[in-house]
Amino acid sequence: MEYQIKQYALEPGALEIQYIEEYFGEFPRRKTAAEIIERLHDRESLILMAEAPLPDDPSGALVPVSYKVVHEIRHDESVPKLRDLVDRLTGPVTFDGRRILYSWIGATRRDWRGQGHFRALTEESEVWALAAGFEEVVVKTKNRYYDMRAVLAQLHFNVIKHEPNVADSAESKVYLSKLLPAELTRRHRSVRTVVYSE
């Protein structure tokens, strides 16, 4: 299978994510286009979306089925949420003199899960990250996101920090990371076509 990936510029990408997030029932608080633009407008970032045909549509038109947003995080962050993230990661992650990428949000529509779309987006983001000089990608999740934790294990992310929630361990936070050595892309498995949407 060849995965069809579209790389978006910030504003159309943010609108497309706002649209696709309507299809994810499991998150009570969905990201709006405005929040995405606010987070990404002054930092290096990548918005990728995988497209696939609807099963019953004879026209074969492609619809967005999976997305992923990654962005840089710096040791001198001033946005409170990112300052907090960098503080929590400092130690397990070395920020000084290294470019660190944060895998911020992403999901696949239910009917298209388990078909490799998220692997394809992740592998494409790693190609981009290497070319941009990033050395490590970090991600934050919670114990209760069992699908995401299983997928991150398959994609060879290593746990670097665990923040227990004593009242409810399902809510405990888990931080993971993956180093991006130059030879990483040789281990990539998905075949991908990428188009660029302005």
Contacts to ligand COA by CB under 6 A: 26, 66, 106-108, 113-119, 141, 145, 147-148, 150-151, 154
Return the number of the residue (75 or 148) whose C-beta is nearest ligand COA.
148
Q: Is the dihedral of CA 29, 63, 71, 149 positive or negative?
A: positive
Q: Least distance to ligand COA from the beta carbon of 120, Å?
A: 7
Return the number of the residue (11 or 54) whose C-beta is nearest ligand COA.
54
For 126, the token pair is 């790693």
DSSP readout, the chain? -EEEEEEE-HHHHHHHHHHHHTT-TT-SSPPPHHHHHHHHTTS-EEEEEEEEE-TT-TT--EEEEEEEEEEEE-TT--SHHHHHHHHHHBTTB--TT--EEEEEEEEE-GGGTTSSHHHHHHHHHHHHHHHTT--EEEEEEETT-HHHHHHHHHTT-EEEEEE--SS-GGG-EEEEEEE--GGGGGG---EEEEEEE-
Q: Least distance to ligand COA from the beta carbon of 8, Å?
A: 18
Return the number of the residue (37 or 148) whose C-beta is nearest ligand COA.
148
Q: Least distance to ligand COA from the beta carbon of 98, Å?
A: 23
Dist CA 140 CA 151 (whole Å)? 13
Return the number of the residue (100 or 151) whose C-beta is nearest ligand COA.
151
Q: Least distance to ligand COA from the beta carbon of 39, Å?
A: 16
Return the number of the residue (6 or 119) whose C-beta is nearest ligand COA.
119
Q: Least distance to ligand COA from the beta carbon of 146, Å?
A: 7
If you search the block for the tokens 């969905």, which residue do you land on?
30
Q: Least distance to ligand COA from the beta carbon of 191, Å?
A: 13
* Amino acid letter, residue 70: V
Return the number of the residue (64 or 106) whose C-beta is nearest ligand COA.
106
